[in-house]
Amino acid sequence: MRTILLLTLVCFTLLLDGCKHHDTLFGTWITDNINVEFDESKSTPELVKQFGEMENGNRIVLSQDSTMQFQSSEEKLSGRFSLSNDTLFCNGQVFGLLKNDRILTTKKTILGVITISYKKK
């Protein structure tokens, strides 16, 4: 009985921790900053600029019913989101991090890494 009570308390604590940011999460998030770090031997400044421009119109919409919609020039994603220890998940997979009132996402490519910061609209 103590084990069940303890597990219930732990789950409740984790749930509250994940919910503490939800009120500030709801809404539309737009691209704020794009950091492209490509291997200079595999890319050109023009290519870096082009990748940055492709990510500039990205948008994330987080709704109170825990649904998420993500749209970029390359893809559309929708599903259920959750937050645990400032990590944002979509459909159970890591989507990004919540840090300093921003959502940060990272894309790894064969050329390097693109880090995108989103601010709430």
What is the domain count for the chain?
1
Q: What tokens were used for 42?
A: 């595999």
CATH code where residue 33 lies: 2.40.128
pLDDT at residue 72 greater than cutoff 60: yes
User: Which of 56, 44, 47, 42 shows the shortest CA–CA distance to 110?
Assistant: 42
CB 74 within 8 A of CB 61: no
Residue range(s) defining the domain that contains residue 32: 2-120
**Which H or E run contains 3?**
helix 2-19
Exposed, middle or buried by CB within 10 Å (0-12, 13-18, 19+), for 22? middle
The model's pTM is 0.77
Tens-place pLDDT, residues 11-44: 444 444 444 455 689 999 999 999 999 988 888 8
